[in-house]
Structure 1
């Protein structure tokens, strides 16, 4: 398995800093994930002190799969949830994370990845995988149903692209959502199976019913239609990099939630949004986090040793500079989308109001960032790009009453934040 260095061109970096970047820059971020995931897998294979036979077989199958079909191999290895597993397991091996799952089971998910790689590339293989609750999940393929309890080792046989798991009772396929509008298409996996799809602030939803799947499809198509019609550049970015949506359990009846895992580029978790505009905003919001995380994989922007804490208008707690930058970038993208959606007659009033609020949030976030000693030189350049993009939004003429309301809301949020965090800020 070969590993390559990656870097962004000056134009790609500048474009991304401005909130967009384009499909080419996003494709570069996505491509870098292959090297990242291979490095993590190499570490796992080296540090894994469990069954060497399982490890050696998995590594051998992965090497043969890469040689047999490099493109399909790369597509699987850049799966966001492969990245989530590899990062989580690496942290466990380094003592930086804990889990109730036996460490050997997490490490041996390498055999499940190898099983999927063999099936996708036409390589024959004999491996041992571990069941998780419900069965054996194979990234990019689905779940082999078994009646075995979690963590049970089971034989997995791959012949001519077909997988058979010991004591298998059935199969659940991964399903997709498709959006098509204005000659722009986006197809994503709706992953309600993978054993490593968790880690958000709400648990992942269980297997969706066919009726739920249809509701997700309708909502996704409507949200995508807004982006494709009114923000074509953003549509191109999403088509180049968004791979997976993880449905989350709805913890209450009134709010939609979404979150991105740092190590799962091109994926995020969400509850099903109730309106097309809400879905469109979620897609842009969370993919902004993926883009910035992808940049950080290639180019550090902040000093990891910094202890600075900042006001972030979208949070009630003081935020480190890295968290502030993530939020700034997300809300810049939200503001840019609402600016475009002002062109939708049915959304013009809402979009104007939301644009005013988003740009005020970015304004206050940039004030917090000003003078930070935690930004590296690349971080200073990135922040300058955010400021320039914000200046474009700030120049939009909006109704005075809408602007004043946004200003009042943010001023009130800042005062409440100061009162809430007065003690911690004095330390």
Structure 2
């Protein structure tokens, strides 16, 4: 399996903060190929790792065989030439339903965690072995869900951990048992029966797309939002997957923790989401097509606390994870306009992260020494590049909004946002361009960013907004120098 290359014209498109449909498809294909290679590495590594018991490795092979059967069913609906468990194909299962499931963003963090567990030198550590066994149990649930989606009849034993068994794209069974609980799963003709000791059977009725229903309080169906475009698939709003944030702790670079939504929160998500496509289109036609091409799932986070008189949570946060391509993590969006900007910001990060895996942009070390007006602490070069690229995308988005907005108040707000983001990027570009650590491809990319920034500046901004933006950045720089100048000077010595 060959990883795609990133041609010069595609890198130029990305440097302009956009990307044609061909370039966006290229980024997705790179990540999809890497995902399948990682999953194959998990399968191969389980048979050799000292941390993986013979029983766990055997179960993983059985799960893979079930996936290959499901692949054969989706690729050959009349039963012709199904794959076998002994297939030596490096890509593994690739039927439509199976591939979609294996490329689900949140299986990426699971696969990376498994590889770290398999590569651990602490083979005799019982805790590590238990963690690895628990992680491998999740793949059994993935295989069962994808096989059921493909219409394969089966009877397998799954395991619920910490009171929950998640079946990706279907939902979750709540056992309310703190210890690991065996769950027998039997699928026949679109009905998935879940049996566990001392409890009534839960019969799950499968549906197309995302979600499945059951007449049981123990079952929580998965939830999805409508596709951004008329022909787009639904976007999972995944508040169930156990790997949706960094495993072992609720926080990820200062984010709030994951949250399971109640009906009221799902309604708030739907209200904001319903206007997001329109809001994206106002920021340039490419923003909507970009989101439709790259966004595969949303992960809700708890609303972080904010400064408010009533003491309630009013803040917001969002992120992407490099190992979870296609996922955007976000607290409940207050409205469609705000969430559209969040998607622009996070998808800029996602695009640059993929480009950076396809080509080497720089050879800088990880020392945090650069001023970034959007962060209070010094940033490493790569962090500065990521932040400047995301803010350049936001400047482009709000400039389009300002130029196309008919309402004076909203137009004024958009110009204010543009002026601040544009000025912030201006403060970061000298350090980016002046670095000797840039590769030839990296210099091409950064110089296109500079050209894009200059072209944005050719359009006059209302003077009051331009002045406020300059003063904002100057104040941020003064405060940063007071706090960090000595530490940065020492790091260079």
Structure 1 length normalisation: TM-score?
0.90
Number of aligned pairs?
Answer: 423
CA separation of 1:292/1:129 partners in 2, compared to 1, >3 Å: closer, same or farther? farther
CA offset digits 1:46-101 (Å, max 9, x no partner): 33313222111122223333343312222111111111221233234445999997
The correspondence for 2:73, drawn from 62, 68, 71, is 68
Q: 2:109 aligns with which of 61, 73, 84?
A: 84
Match of 1:237 in 2: 290
- With 261-270 and 90-99 compared, the bigger mean Cα shift is at 90-99
- Paired residue for 2:278, among 201, 204, 225? 225
Q: Which has the larger radius of gyration?
A: 2
Task: Label 1:305 to 1:250 Cα distance change in 2 as closer, same or farther (>3 A).
Answer: same
Aligned counterpart for 1:171 among listed residues 199, 211, 219: 219
> Where does structure 2 lack aligned partners over 5 or more consecutive residues?
47-51, 75-94, 203-217, 247-251, 306-312
What does 1:11-410 align with in structure 2 at a 5 Å threshold? 11-48=9-46, 49-50=52-53, 51-69=56-74, 70-95=95-120, 102-149=131-178, 151-160=180-189, 162-167=191-196, 169=202, 170-178=218-226, 187-199=234-246, 200=252, 201-206=255-260, 208-252=261-305, 253-303=313-363, 305=365, 307=367, 309-342=369-402, 343-346=404-407, 347-410=410-473
Partners of 1:294 and 1:112 in 2: CA distance: 29
Moved more, 23-32 or 240-249: 23-32
Aligned-residue offset at 1:306: 5.1
Q: CA deviation at 1:32?
A: 2.4
Matched-pair contact (CA < 8 Å) for 1:188–1:243: yes
Q: CA RMSD in A?
A: 2.7
Secondary structure at the aligned position of 1:102 is classed as: helix
What whole-Å deviation, never above 9, does each CA across 1:187-233 have from its counterpart, x for those lacking one?
Answer: 42111111111233211112x22222122111111232211244211
Higher RCO, 1 or 2 (CA under 8 Å, sep at least 6)? 1
| 3-state SS, counterpart of residue 21 of structure 1 | coil
CA distance in 1, matches of 2:476, 2:239: 36
Given the superposition, is the C-alpha separation of residues 120 and 106 from structure 1 closer, same or farther in structure 2, using an over 3 Å criterion?
same
Contact kept? 1:301, 1:375, Cα under 8 Å:
yes
TM-score by length of 2: 0.79
- Unaligned runs of 5+ residues in structure 1 are none
When structure 1 is superposed on structure 2, of 209-218 and 404-413 the one drifting more is: 209-218
Larger CA deviation: 146-155 vs 12-21 = 146-155
C-alpha distance 172-318 of structure 1, shift in aligned 2 (>3 A): same
